[in-house]
Structure 1
Amino acid sequence: MGCGRVGASLAEAMERRGHTVSVIDRDPTAFKRLSPEFAGTTTVGMGFDREVLTRAGIEKADAFAAVSSGDNSNIVAARVARETFGVARVVARIYDARRAQVYARLGIPTVATVPWTTERFVAELDDDVDTVAWRDPSGSVDLIELDIDESWIGTSVAKFAEETGCHVVFLNRLGRPILPEPRTALQDDDIVYVAVRSADRAAVRATAGAPRPIHD
Protein backbone atom coordinates (compact mmCIF):
# COMPACT_ATOMS: atom_id res chain seq x y z
CA MET A 1 0.00 0.00 0.00
CA GLY A 2 1.42 3.33 -1.13
CA CYS A 3 3.05 4.10 -4.46
CA GLY A 4 5.28 6.98 -3.49
CA ARG A 5 9.00 6.79 -4.15
CA VAL A 6 9.51 4.16 -1.45
CA GLY A 7 6.48 2.12 -2.46
CA ALA A 8 7.34 2.12 -6.15
CA SER A 9 10.95 1.19 -5.44
CA LEU A 10 9.88 -1.58 -3.06
CA ALA A 11 7.35 -2.98 -5.55
CA GLU A 12 9.94 -3.19 -8.31
CA ALA A 13 12.58 -4.62 -5.98
CA MET A 14 10.23 -7.40 -4.87
CA GLU A 15 9.26 -8.11 -8.47
CA ARG A 16 12.93 -8.44 -9.44
CA ARG A 17 13.23 -11.06 -6.71
CA GLY A 18 10.59 -13.16 -8.47
CA HIS A 19 7.48 -12.14 -6.53
CA THR A 20 4.09 -11.25 -7.94
CA VAL A 21 3.30 -7.74 -6.71
CA SER A 22 0.06 -5.79 -6.32
CA VAL A 23 0.20 -2.06 -5.51
CA ILE A 24 -2.56 0.04 -3.92
CA ASP A 25 -2.75 3.85 -3.91
CA ARG A 26 -5.66 6.26 -3.61
CA ASP A 27 -4.12 8.51 -6.30
CA PRO A 28 -4.14 6.86 -9.75
CA THR A 29 -1.35 9.17 -10.95
CA ALA A 30 0.97 7.68 -8.34
CA PHE A 31 1.36 4.56 -10.46
CA LYS A 32 3.33 6.62 -12.98
CA ARG A 33 6.28 6.14 -10.63
CA LEU A 34 6.38 2.47 -11.60
CA SER A 35 8.61 1.62 -14.52
CA PRO A 36 7.01 0.60 -17.86
CA GLU A 37 8.44 -2.90 -17.27
CA PHE A 38 6.47 -3.39 -14.05
CA ALA A 39 4.31 -6.47 -14.58
CA GLY A 40 2.29 -6.36 -11.36
CA THR A 41 -1.24 -5.08 -10.81
CA THR A 42 -2.41 -1.70 -9.54
CA THR A 43 -5.55 -0.89 -7.56
CA VAL A 44 -6.96 2.56 -6.82
CA GLY A 45 -8.40 3.04 -3.34
CA MET A 46 -7.70 3.32 0.36
CA GLY A 47 -5.33 0.57 1.43
CA PHE A 48 -7.14 -0.13 4.69
CA ASP A 49 -10.52 -0.65 2.99
CA ARG A 50 -11.38 -4.35 2.99
CA GLU A 51 -13.04 -4.24 -0.42
CA VAL A 52 -10.01 -2.49 -1.92
CA LEU A 53 -7.65 -4.99 -0.33
CA THR A 54 -9.74 -7.87 -1.66
CA ARG A 55 -9.67 -6.44 -5.20
CA ALA A 56 -5.91 -6.10 -4.90
CA GLY A 57 -5.58 -9.79 -4.05
CA ILE A 58 -4.95 -9.67 -0.30
CA GLU A 59 -6.54 -13.10 0.17
CA LYS A 60 -3.69 -14.66 -1.84
CA ALA A 61 -0.92 -12.49 -0.37
CA ASP A 62 2.03 -13.93 1.51
CA ALA A 63 3.20 -10.49 2.64
CA PHE A 64 1.91 -6.92 2.97
CA ALA A 65 3.83 -3.63 3.26
CA ALA A 66 2.11 -0.39 4.27
CA VAL A 67 4.35 2.42 3.02
CA SER A 68 2.03 5.38 2.45
CA SER A 69 2.87 8.82 3.85
CA GLY A 70 0.45 8.51 6.78
CA ASP A 71 1.23 6.69 10.01
CA ASN A 72 -2.43 6.11 10.85
CA SER A 73 -3.26 4.73 7.40
CA ASN A 74 -0.23 2.44 7.49
CA ILE A 75 -0.92 0.95 10.87
CA VAL A 76 -4.65 0.47 10.23
CA ALA A 77 -3.94 -1.21 6.91
CA ALA A 78 -1.27 -3.40 8.51
CA ARG A 79 -3.63 -4.50 11.24
CA VAL A 80 -6.43 -5.28 8.77
CA ALA A 81 -3.99 -7.32 6.66
CA ARG A 82 -2.79 -9.24 9.73
CA GLU A 83 -5.95 -9.60 11.78
CA THR A 84 -8.68 -9.77 9.13
CA PHE A 85 -6.95 -11.52 6.25
CA GLY A 86 -4.30 -13.46 8.18
CA VAL A 87 -1.32 -12.29 6.12
CA ALA A 88 1.75 -13.85 7.70
CA ARG A 89 4.31 -11.14 6.96
CA VAL A 90 3.22 -7.56 7.57
CA VAL A 91 5.34 -4.45 8.00
CA ALA A 92 4.38 -0.78 8.38
CA ARG A 93 6.33 2.38 7.68
CA ILE A 94 6.09 4.73 10.67
CA TYR A 95 7.44 8.27 11.07
CA ASP A 96 6.70 8.63 14.79
CA ALA A 97 9.15 6.44 16.72
CA ARG A 98 6.90 6.42 19.78
CA ARG A 99 4.13 4.82 17.76
CA ALA A 100 6.58 2.32 16.31
CA GLN A 101 7.30 1.02 19.80
CA VAL A 102 3.60 0.55 20.52
CA TYR A 103 2.91 -1.30 17.28
CA ALA A 104 5.94 -3.52 17.74
CA ARG A 105 4.37 -4.70 20.99
CA LEU A 106 1.26 -5.58 18.97
CA GLY A 107 3.40 -7.87 16.85
CA ILE A 108 3.53 -5.64 13.77
CA PRO A 109 7.09 -4.93 12.58
CA THR A 110 7.66 -1.28 11.73
CA VAL A 111 10.27 0.81 9.97
CA ALA A 112 10.60 4.11 11.83
CA THR A 113 11.74 6.25 8.90
CA VAL A 114 12.73 9.52 10.57
CA PRO A 115 14.77 8.10 13.50
CA TRP A 116 16.55 5.62 11.22
CA THR A 117 17.42 8.32 8.68
CA THR A 118 18.59 10.67 11.41
CA GLU A 119 20.87 8.04 12.89
CA ARG A 120 22.43 7.35 9.49
CA PHE A 121 23.14 11.05 8.86
CA VAL A 122 24.63 11.47 12.32
CA ALA A 123 26.85 8.43 11.75
CA GLU A 124 28.22 9.97 8.56
CA LEU A 125 28.62 13.51 9.89
CA ASP A 126 30.01 13.07 13.40
CA ASP A 127 32.59 10.44 14.26
CA ASP A 128 32.50 11.35 17.94
CA VAL A 129 28.84 10.62 18.56
CA ASP A 130 27.72 7.26 19.95
CA THR A 131 25.70 6.35 16.89
CA VAL A 132 23.48 3.34 16.32
CA ALA A 133 23.27 1.51 12.98
CA TRP A 134 19.86 0.02 13.83
CA ARG A 135 17.52 -0.01 16.82
CA ASP A 136 14.55 -2.30 17.32
CA PRO A 137 11.23 -0.46 17.61
CA SER A 138 10.98 -1.14 21.34
CA GLY A 139 14.26 0.71 21.84
CA SER A 140 15.80 -2.11 23.86
CA VAL A 141 18.32 -3.59 21.39
CA ASP A 142 20.88 -1.76 19.23
CA LEU A 143 23.12 -2.78 16.35
CA ILE A 144 26.36 -0.80 16.57
CA GLU A 145 29.80 -0.64 15.00
CA LEU A 146 32.56 -1.19 17.55
CA ASP A 147 36.05 0.24 17.65
CA ILE A 148 38.15 -2.45 19.32
CA ASP A 149 41.53 -2.16 21.00
CA GLU A 150 44.38 -3.92 19.19
CA SER A 151 44.81 -6.28 22.14
CA TRP A 152 41.61 -8.08 21.03
CA ILE A 153 43.19 -9.10 17.72
CA GLY A 154 43.41 -12.88 17.57
CA THR A 155 40.59 -13.35 20.09
CA SER A 156 37.78 -15.64 18.97
CA VAL A 157 34.39 -14.11 18.33
CA ALA A 158 32.88 -16.31 21.06
CA LYS A 159 35.39 -15.15 23.64
CA PHE A 160 35.07 -11.52 22.57
CA ALA A 161 31.28 -11.70 22.93
CA GLU A 162 31.55 -13.38 26.33
CA GLU A 163 33.99 -10.83 27.73
CA THR A 164 32.36 -7.69 26.36
CA GLY A 165 28.72 -8.67 26.85
CA CYS A 166 27.59 -8.34 23.23
CA HIS A 167 26.56 -10.57 20.34
CA VAL A 168 28.73 -10.34 17.23
CA VAL A 169 26.43 -10.08 14.21
CA PHE A 170 28.95 -9.73 11.39
CA LEU A 171 32.40 -8.45 10.50
CA ASN A 172 33.46 -6.21 7.66
CA ARG A 173 36.83 -7.57 6.60
CA LEU A 174 38.58 -5.54 3.90
CA GLY A 175 35.22 -4.39 2.56
CA ARG A 176 33.74 -7.89 2.57
CA PRO A 177 30.98 -8.91 5.02
CA ILE A 178 31.76 -12.01 7.08
CA LEU A 179 29.25 -14.01 9.12
CA PRO A 180 31.60 -15.32 11.80
CA GLU A 181 31.56 -18.67 13.52
CA PRO A 182 32.25 -18.80 17.26
CA ARG A 183 35.88 -19.79 16.61
CA THR A 184 36.50 -17.04 14.04
CA ALA A 185 39.43 -14.91 15.21
CA LEU A 186 39.31 -11.13 15.06
CA GLN A 187 41.85 -9.69 12.64
CA ASP A 188 43.53 -6.33 12.31
CA ASP A 189 41.30 -3.76 10.55
CA ASP A 190 38.12 -5.80 11.09
CA ILE A 191 35.03 -3.60 11.50
CA VAL A 192 32.92 -5.36 14.12
CA TYR A 193 29.14 -5.03 14.21
CA VAL A 194 27.43 -6.23 17.38
CA ALA A 195 23.98 -6.38 18.92
CA VAL A 196 23.72 -5.04 22.46
CA ARG A 197 21.05 -4.10 24.93
CA SER A 198 20.62 -0.35 24.66
CA ALA A 199 21.29 0.09 28.35
CA ASP A 200 24.63 -1.73 27.99
CA ARG A 201 25.86 0.09 24.87
CA ALA A 202 28.26 2.48 26.62
CA ALA A 203 29.73 -0.28 28.78
CA VAL A 204 30.29 -2.57 25.78
CA ARG A 205 32.00 0.24 23.85
CA ALA A 206 34.24 0.98 26.82
CA THR A 207 35.24 -2.68 27.29
CA ALA A 208 35.91 -3.27 23.59
CA GLY A 209 37.92 -0.06 23.27
CA ALA A 210 40.14 -0.83 26.25
CA PRO A 211 43.06 -3.32 26.45
CA ARG A 212 41.83 -6.85 26.96
CA PRO A 213 42.31 -8.08 30.52
CA ILE A 214 45.15 -10.57 30.90
CA HIS A 215 43.91 -14.14 31.29
CA ASP A 216 45.84 -17.20 32.38
Structure 2
Amino acid sequence: MHIVIMGCGRVGSSLARSLERRGHTVAIIDQNVEAFRRLGPEFDGQTVKGVGFDREVLIESGIEEAGAFAAVSNGDNSNILAARVVRETFDVHNVVARIYDPGRAEVYERLGIPTVATVRWTADQVLRRLLPAGSEPQWRDPSGSVRLMEVHADRSWVGRTVEQIEAATGAKVPFVFRLGTGMVPKRGTHFQDGDLLYAAVADARLAEVEAILAAKPKES
Protein backbone atom coordinates (compact mmCIF):
# COMPACT_ATOMS: atom_id res chain seq x y z
CA MET A 1 0.00 0.00 0.00
CA HIS A 2 1.16 3.55 -0.70
CA ILE A 3 1.00 5.85 2.33
CA VAL A 4 1.52 9.62 2.44
CA ILE A 5 2.75 11.36 5.60
CA MET A 6 2.71 15.10 6.28
CA GLY A 7 5.40 16.17 8.74
CA CYS A 8 8.94 14.82 8.99
CA GLY A 9 9.57 15.44 12.67
CA ARG A 10 10.50 12.72 15.12
CA VAL A 11 7.11 11.03 14.84
CA GLY A 12 6.74 11.38 11.07
CA SER A 13 10.23 10.10 10.31
CA SER A 14 9.81 7.16 12.72
CA LEU A 15 6.45 6.34 11.17
CA ALA A 16 7.87 6.49 7.64
CA ARG A 17 10.70 4.09 8.47
CA SER A 18 8.33 1.68 10.27
CA LEU A 19 5.92 1.59 7.33
CA GLU A 20 8.73 1.05 4.85
CA ARG A 21 10.05 -1.87 6.92
CA ARG A 22 6.59 -3.40 6.67
CA GLY A 23 6.81 -3.34 2.88
CA HIS A 24 4.71 -0.25 2.14
CA THR A 25 5.74 2.58 -0.19
CA VAL A 26 5.95 5.94 1.56
CA ALA A 27 5.98 9.60 0.52
CA ILE A 28 6.65 12.19 3.22
CA ILE A 29 5.89 15.90 2.96
CA ASP A 30 7.56 18.74 4.85
CA GLN A 31 8.18 22.44 4.26
CA ASN A 32 11.73 22.17 5.56
CA VAL A 33 13.99 20.00 3.40
CA GLU A 34 16.48 19.75 6.29
CA ALA A 35 13.86 17.69 8.15
CA PHE A 36 14.30 14.83 5.68
CA ARG A 37 17.71 14.12 7.23
CA ARG A 38 15.85 12.42 10.06
CA LEU A 39 14.87 9.63 7.66
CA GLY A 40 18.44 8.39 7.38
CA PRO A 41 20.35 7.05 4.37
CA GLU A 42 18.41 3.77 4.19
CA PHE A 43 15.04 5.40 3.51
CA ASP A 44 13.96 4.62 -0.06
CA GLY A 45 10.68 6.53 -0.10
CA GLN A 46 9.79 9.83 -1.70
CA THR A 47 10.37 13.22 -0.07
CA VAL A 48 8.26 16.20 -1.17
CA LYS A 49 8.82 19.83 -0.17
CA GLY A 50 5.60 21.70 0.57
CA VAL A 51 2.50 21.70 2.75
CA GLY A 52 0.23 18.70 3.01
CA PHE A 53 -2.99 20.54 2.23
CA ASP A 54 -1.74 21.86 -1.13
CA ARG A 55 -3.41 19.94 -3.96
CA GLU A 56 -0.35 19.96 -6.25
CA VAL A 57 1.96 18.83 -3.44
CA LEU A 58 -0.40 15.99 -2.58
CA ILE A 59 -0.60 14.88 -6.21
CA GLU A 60 3.21 14.91 -6.41
CA SER A 61 3.33 12.68 -3.33
CA GLY A 62 1.09 10.10 -5.03
CA ILE A 63 -2.07 10.74 -3.01
CA GLU A 64 -4.25 9.63 -5.93
CA GLU A 65 -2.89 6.09 -5.51
CA ALA A 66 -2.59 6.20 -1.72
CA GLY A 67 -4.46 3.92 0.63
CA ALA A 68 -3.77 5.98 3.76
CA PHE A 69 -2.66 9.43 4.93
CA ALA A 70 -1.19 10.64 8.24
CA ALA A 71 -0.95 14.31 9.20
CA VAL A 72 1.65 14.57 11.95
CA SER A 73 3.09 18.08 11.61
CA ASN A 74 3.39 20.38 14.64
CA GLY A 75 0.21 22.35 13.85
CA ASP A 76 -3.32 21.23 14.73
CA ASN A 77 -4.98 23.40 12.08
CA SER A 78 -2.61 22.24 9.34
CA ASN A 79 -3.10 18.59 10.28
CA ILE A 80 -6.88 18.77 10.27
CA LEU A 81 -7.02 20.85 7.08
CA ALA A 82 -4.74 18.36 5.30
CA ALA A 83 -6.75 15.38 6.57
CA ARG A 84 -10.01 16.92 5.36
CA VAL A 85 -8.58 17.81 1.93
CA VAL A 86 -7.31 14.26 1.49
CA ARG A 87 -10.65 12.74 2.49
CA GLU A 88 -12.95 15.13 0.66
CA THR A 89 -10.90 15.90 -2.47
CA PHE A 90 -9.02 12.66 -3.04
CA ASP A 91 -11.50 10.25 -1.40
CA VAL A 92 -8.91 8.64 0.88
CA HIS A 93 -10.91 7.52 3.90
CA ASN A 94 -8.08 5.95 5.91
CA VAL A 95 -6.62 9.10 7.50
CA VAL A 96 -5.33 10.02 10.95
CA ALA A 97 -4.37 13.42 12.33
CA ARG A 98 -2.12 14.33 15.23
CA ILE A 99 -3.75 16.82 17.60
CA TYR A 100 -1.93 18.79 20.29
CA ASP A 101 -5.14 20.04 21.91
CA PRO A 102 -7.09 17.04 23.27
CA GLY A 103 -10.15 19.26 23.65
CA ARG A 104 -10.45 19.47 19.86
CA ALA A 105 -10.20 15.73 19.31
CA GLU A 106 -13.90 14.97 19.81
CA VAL A 107 -14.90 17.62 17.27
CA TYR A 108 -12.63 16.14 14.64
CA GLU A 109 -13.69 12.58 15.46
CA ARG A 110 -17.25 13.68 14.66
CA LEU A 111 -15.98 14.66 11.21
CA GLY A 112 -14.87 11.07 10.75
CA ILE A 113 -11.16 11.80 11.19
CA PRO A 114 -9.44 9.61 13.79
CA THR A 115 -7.12 11.73 15.93
CA VAL A 116 -4.25 11.02 18.28
CA ALA A 117 -3.56 13.58 21.00
CA THR A 118 0.01 14.03 22.19
CA VAL A 119 -0.93 13.00 25.74
CA ARG A 120 -1.42 9.45 24.48
CA TRP A 121 0.83 9.62 21.45
CA THR A 122 2.94 6.75 20.14
CA ALA A 123 3.89 5.85 16.56
CA ASP A 124 2.29 2.44 17.15
CA GLN A 125 -1.13 4.06 17.61
CA VAL A 126 -0.85 5.74 14.24
CA LEU A 127 0.26 2.48 12.63
CA ARG A 128 -2.81 0.72 14.00
CA ARG A 129 -5.04 3.39 12.47
CA LEU A 130 -3.27 3.52 9.11
CA LEU A 131 -2.93 -0.18 8.41
CA PRO A 132 -6.27 -1.87 7.74
CA ALA A 133 -4.94 -5.29 8.66
CA GLY A 134 -1.96 -6.99 10.25
CA SER A 135 -1.18 -4.36 12.86
CA GLU A 136 0.47 -5.18 16.14
CA PRO A 137 -1.78 -6.77 18.79
CA GLN A 138 -2.90 -4.66 21.74
CA TRP A 139 -2.63 -7.74 23.97
CA ARG A 140 -1.71 -11.39 23.55
CA ASP A 141 -2.33 -14.19 26.02
CA PRO A 142 0.76 -16.00 27.41
CA SER A 143 0.17 -19.05 25.22
CA GLY A 144 0.02 -16.92 22.05
CA SER A 145 -3.30 -18.45 20.99
CA VAL A 146 -5.57 -15.42 21.53
CA ARG A 147 -4.99 -11.74 20.88
CA LEU A 148 -6.86 -8.47 21.36
CA MET A 149 -6.70 -6.58 18.09
CA GLU A 150 -7.83 -3.23 16.77
CA VAL A 151 -9.65 -4.30 13.61
CA HIS A 152 -10.87 -2.05 10.82
CA ALA A 153 -14.32 -2.62 9.35
CA ASP A 154 -15.45 -1.56 5.88
CA ARG A 155 -17.80 1.44 5.96
CA SER A 156 -20.59 -0.79 4.68
CA TRP A 157 -20.81 -2.25 8.21
CA VAL A 158 -22.00 1.13 9.53
CA GLY A 159 -25.47 0.69 11.01
CA ARG A 160 -24.99 -2.97 11.91
CA THR A 161 -25.08 -3.86 15.59
CA VAL A 162 -22.02 -5.12 17.43
CA GLU A 163 -23.94 -8.35 17.99
CA GLN A 164 -24.33 -8.77 14.24
CA ILE A 165 -20.61 -8.16 13.77
CA GLU A 166 -19.80 -10.77 16.41
CA ALA A 167 -22.15 -13.27 14.78
CA ALA A 168 -20.62 -12.69 11.34
CA THR A 169 -17.02 -12.98 12.50
CA GLY A 170 -17.21 -15.38 15.42
CA ALA A 171 -15.07 -12.93 17.40
CA LYS A 172 -15.95 -11.03 20.56
CA VAL A 173 -15.94 -7.22 20.63
CA PRO A 174 -15.28 -6.23 24.26
CA PHE A 175 -15.07 -2.52 23.53
CA VAL A 176 -15.28 0.15 20.84
CA PHE A 177 -13.23 3.35 20.54
CA ARG A 178 -15.62 6.19 19.65
CA LEU A 179 -15.06 9.97 19.60
CA GLY A 180 -11.83 9.69 21.55
CA THR A 181 -13.26 7.44 24.27
CA GLY A 182 -13.50 3.70 24.84
CA MET A 183 -16.97 2.25 25.42
CA VAL A 184 -18.28 -1.21 26.27
CA PRO A 185 -21.01 -2.04 23.74
CA LYS A 186 -24.48 -2.75 25.08
CA ARG A 187 -27.22 -4.83 23.51
CA GLY A 188 -28.24 -2.99 20.34
CA THR A 189 -25.12 -0.81 20.11
CA HIS A 190 -24.64 0.10 16.44
CA PHE A 191 -21.32 0.43 14.65
CA GLN A 192 -20.87 4.07 13.59
CA ASP A 193 -18.67 5.74 10.99
CA GLY A 194 -15.31 6.48 12.61
CA ASP A 195 -15.59 3.73 15.23
CA LEU A 196 -12.61 1.48 15.91
CA LEU A 197 -13.45 -2.08 16.91
CA TYR A 198 -11.39 -4.05 19.39
CA ALA A 199 -11.87 -7.78 18.93
CA ALA A 200 -10.71 -10.79 20.90
CA VAL A 201 -9.63 -13.21 18.19
CA ALA A 202 -8.10 -16.67 18.15
CA ASP A 203 -4.68 -16.31 16.57
CA ALA A 204 -5.45 -18.90 13.90
CA ARG A 205 -8.57 -16.96 12.79
CA LEU A 206 -7.11 -13.46 12.61
CA ALA A 207 -6.78 -13.31 8.81
CA GLU A 208 -10.30 -14.71 8.41
CA VAL A 209 -11.85 -12.12 10.75
CA GLU A 210 -9.98 -9.26 9.08
CA ALA A 211 -11.10 -10.48 5.64
CA ILE A 212 -14.76 -10.64 6.74
CA LEU A 213 -14.72 -7.09 8.10
CA ALA A 214 -12.78 -5.74 5.11
CA ALA A 215 -15.60 -6.85 2.79
CA LYS A 216 -19.23 -5.86 2.66
CA PRO A 217 -21.48 -7.77 5.08
CA LYS A 218 -23.38 -10.69 3.62
CA GLU A 219 -27.12 -10.25 3.61
CA SER A 220 -28.87 -12.80 5.82
TM-score by length of 2: 0.56
Please state how far the C-alpha of 1:171 moved relative to its aligned partner: 5.7
Contact 2:87 2:93 in 1 (8 A): yes
Q: Find out whether 1:102 has 2:107 as its counterpart.
A: yes
Deviations 1:33-84 (A, max 9, x none): 0020111110000111111111111111111000001111000000000000
Deviations 1:117-152 (A, max 9, x none): 5xx9xxxxxxxxxxxxx9xxxxxxxxxxxxxxxxxx
Structure 2 alignment gaps of length 5 or more: 1-5, 126-137, 149-173, 185-220
Please state how far the C-alpha of 1:22 moved relative to its aligned partner: 0.3
Aligned to 1:173: 142
Distance in 1, Cα, partners of 2:176 & 2:45: 40
Matches within 5 A, 1:1-216: 1-114=6-119, 116=120, 170=139, 172-173=141-142, 178-179=146-147, 195=175
Distance in 2, Cα, partners of 1:32 & 1:10: 14
Alignment-mate amino acid for residue 142 of structure 2: R
Please state how far the C-alpha of 1:18 moved relative to its aligned partner: 0.7
Alignment-mate amino acid for residue 23 of structure 1: I
Alignment-mate amino acid for residue 147 of structure 2: L
Q: Which has the higher contact order (CA 8 A, sep 6+)?
A: 2
Q: Once superposed, what is the RMSD of the aligned Cα atoms?
A: 2.8
Percentage identity across aligned positions? 61
Distance in 2, Cα, partners of 1:109 & 1:54: 22
Secondary structure of 1:69's aligned partner = coil
Q: How many residues align?
A: 137
Please state how far the C-alpha of 1:16 moved relative to its aligned partner: 0.7
Distance in 2, Cα, partners of 1:177 & 1:70: 42
Contact 1:170 1:177 in 2 (8 A): no
Deviations 1:16-35 (A, max 9, x none): 11111000000010000002
Distance 1:98 1:28, change over 3 A: same
Contact 2:175 2:183 in 1 (8 A): no
TM-score by length of 1: 0.57
Please state how far the C-alpha of 1:95 moved relative to its aligned partner: 1.2
Distance in 1, Cα, partners of 2:50 & 2:183: 46
